[in-house]
A and B are shown apart, each in its own frame.
Chain A
Amino acid sequence: TQLLEQSPQFLSIQEGENLTVYCNSSSVFSSLQWYRQEPGEGPVLLVTVVTGGEVKKLKRLTFQFGDARKDSSLHITAAQPGDTGLYLCAGVGTYNTDKLIFGTGTRLQVFP
């Protein structure tokens, strides 16, 4: 069974601080996605990383896929209250029949 563990589970910070969220697994994924979910809404795809070691930037968000394609990180620089939400990583398996596996989630609260 492929599992994705995210850490930390909860994060409460002040506006302007930096933070990193980790997504770890013992399994290899062909690609990994990051989503943000706000209260009352469904998850929204932020980015997909495909190649081991790949780094993608989305404004103040930096996503990295581990060299072995088993883990990923999300770094937010100078967090803002608008970044508040549930961050989910999701792994795409290496077999065609594999389903999308979602991580355990990191709930971020950024206070002004």
Chain B
Amino acid sequence: DSGVTQTPKHLITATGQRVTLRCSPRSGDLSVYWYQQSLDQGLQFLIQYYNGEERAKGNILERFSAQQFPDLHSELNLSSLELGDSALYFCASSVAYDKKETQYFGPGTRLLVL
């Protein structure tokens, strides 16, 4: 158990819909990262937040957005969903924002868009 929690574990929805994925970082960690893992693209970095502020952006689509709240939990919002958005979405957390810090991954949310 990494100490990072993600909900829901599984999500099935239809194209065009909007979903919200939730992540609670390890106690004391200020940085949250979101990743997408698909069979063809592998594990791709989406976005990073540190202490409520966006810190770094990766391959995140404009239809996707995220935020980190004052209690440090984070939400990833996916809208206008397409079949290709079906993937595993992971949240990771670390103490600070340096990319050299160890990132602890949650168990992931498996999204299926039908």
Contact = CB atoms under 8 A, between A and B. Distances in A.
A65 interface: no
Interface residues of A, number: 22
Nearest to A98: B99
Nearest to A104: B42
B106 interface: yes
Contacts of B102: 45, 48
B103 interface: yes
Contacts, number: 49
B5 to A, nearest CB: 11
Contacts of B4: 42
Contacts of A104: 42
B100 A99 contact: no
Interface in B15-50: 42-45, 48
Interface of A: 30-31, 40-45, 48, 88, 92-93, 96-105
